[in-house]
Amino acid sequence: MLKRSVSTSDFLHLPANLHAMMKMGFISGLLLGFLFSCTEECGIIAEPTLAIIFPFTANKPVFTKIRAINGVKEIPKEGVKSSTIHSYGDIYLPLNLNADHTTYIFEQRNRVDTLTIFYQKNIYDINKKCGYIVDLEAPKLGNKIVSSFKRTQAEYYSYYSKQKSFTYREGGGGIVVQINEL
């Protein structure tokens, strides 16, 4: 008796090449999923930055100069980097790892403001992939932020990040300061 093997393409009445394409798509999906699940950024790998956000759309401040206390170089008035897909900031400013706080002086045409952000450095042996990493966290005691801006708020996210799924990435944002009112 002759036996005919029945493949899924026969069963679903799909053309053979479509079946092969589906198979390839499935394998590629699995592979991509695996790659995404393995993607990690190992914390601070260069001078870390602080993201500053102005959550209002109108009358955003225009700084003429930004300086950092104990800085060795002038900070560009537009900040040191731009937003990425993983983190948003109107301005990114460098943080001093040699101290537990960084103070900035913001100069506008008729106004000068200061902002000091406090943090605590921690070193973790996070896993066998990244090994030891440096991360910045909220100070256990004392102020998080001191500023001449009227209403400010600081959030601390890990600088270490890991892709948890296709759409969700955990951590990586770093310290974010929201200036709600000038």
119 closest CA partner among 103, 137, 131, 146: 137
d(CA 69, CA 146): 14
Query: Token pair 């974010």 is at which residue?
Result: 176
146 lies in the site for other proteins, by CB under 8 A: no
Stretch binding other proteins (CB under 8 A), from 109-117, 120-128, 141-149, 167-175: 120-128
Residue 65 CB, shortest distance to other proteins, in Å, is 14
40 lies in the site for other proteins, by CB under 8 A: yes
Look up residue 55 and give its two tokens: 């959550």
Nearer residue to other proteins within complex by CB, 3 or 73: 73
Please identify which residue in 5, 17, 57, 98 interacts with other proteins, judged by CB under 8 A: 98
* SS3 label, residue 8: helix
24 lies in the site for other proteins, by CB under 8 A: no
135 lies in the site for other proteins, by CB under 8 A: no
**Are 44 and 134 in contact, with CB atoms under 8 Å apart?**
yes
d(CA 175, CA 159): 8
Residue 177 CB, shortest distance to other proteins, in Å, is 17
**Burial of residue 92 (number of CB atoms within 10 Å: 0-12, 13-18, 19+):** buried
Nearer residue to other proteins within complex by CB, 59 or 70: 70
| Residues at the site binding other proteins, with contacts judged by CB under 8 A | 38, 40-47, 68, 70-73, 75, 80, 94-98, 102, 123, 125, 128-134
